[in-house]
Amino acid sequence: MGLEQYDYGICGVYCGQCPNGNGRVKFAAGELKRLVDTTRYDWMENVVKSFRFSEFRKGLEWFAAAQCPKCLAGGGAPCENRKCAGNRNLESCLLCGEYLKCENTTYMRDVYPFVVDNYERVKQVGLEKHLEEEEDRARAGVDLMGHLERRYCKIIELSEEAE
C-alpha cells in the first residue's frame, strides 16, 4: 500500500489526530451553531454588553464550513517544510537527517514536541509503519487535544453587567 492512504503532514504531525485535520472542529462548530440557533441566543447581546452574538455566530459559521486543506493536497499555509521535502524528494520531513536541527521544523518541535519521538520512531520502523501506528492511535481516539489544551486553553472572564 502507498502512503496516500494516511492522513499525515509533511512536518511530522499526524493530521488524523488533529481536531482540525480530522473534522472534529468542523463538526463541533456545526453542532454548536445548530444549538444556539435553535435555542435563539441572539438575546444575549442585550444582557451581556461585552458579548457580540452576531460575531460569535459568524465565527461558528466559519468554523462549521472550514476544514484543514491538508498540506499533502497542496493546501494550508505557505510551508517551507513542504517545499524543502519536495526539493529533497522526501515524503516527510521525518525522513530527513537534519530534522532535529532544521530551522523549518523548529515550530513543530516547539509546539508539538512529540514529533521528536515520531522522528526517532521513523528511524526505527520506517515511515509507513510509523504512519500505520499513528492511524491506529487515531482510530483508538488519541488526538492532539491533551497536549494542546495545557498549552493554549485560557480562562476568559466576561463582564456580566447589563447596560
Is residue 139 predicted with pLDDT exceeding 60? yes
Total domain count, the chain: 1
Is residue 81 predicted with pLDDT exceeding 60? yes
C-alpha grid cell for residue 38? Answer: 435553535
Region 36-60: what's the mean pLDDT? 86
Q: Please check whether residue 29 lies inside any domain of the structure.
A: no
Q: What is the pLDDT of residue 161?
A: 55
Alpha helices in the chain (DSSP H): 24-39, 44-47, 53-65, 80-87, 106-111, 114-125, 127-139, 145-152
Q: Please check whether residue 54 lies inside any domain of the structure.
A: no
C-alpha grid cell for residue 133? Answer: 501506528
Region 131-154: what's the mean pLDDT? 80
Judge contact between 130 and 121, C-beta under 8 A.
Answer: yes
Q: Please check whether residue 93 lies inside any domain of the structure.
A: yes
Q: Please check whether residue 6 lies inside any domain of the structure.
A: yes
Q: Please check whether residue 156 lies inside any domain of the structure.
A: no
For residue 75, which of 3, 10, 6, 127 has the smallest C-alpha distance?
A: 10
Q: Please check whether residue 118 lies inside any domain of the structure.
A: yes
Query: What mean pLDDT value characterizes the chain?
Result: 85
Per the structure, the complete domain to which residue 7 belongs is given by 1-18+78-151
Q: Please check whether residue 30 lies inside any domain of the structure.
A: no
Q: How many CB atoms lie within 10 A of CB 94?
A: 25
Residues contacting residue 34 through CB under 8 Å, at least 6 positions apart: none
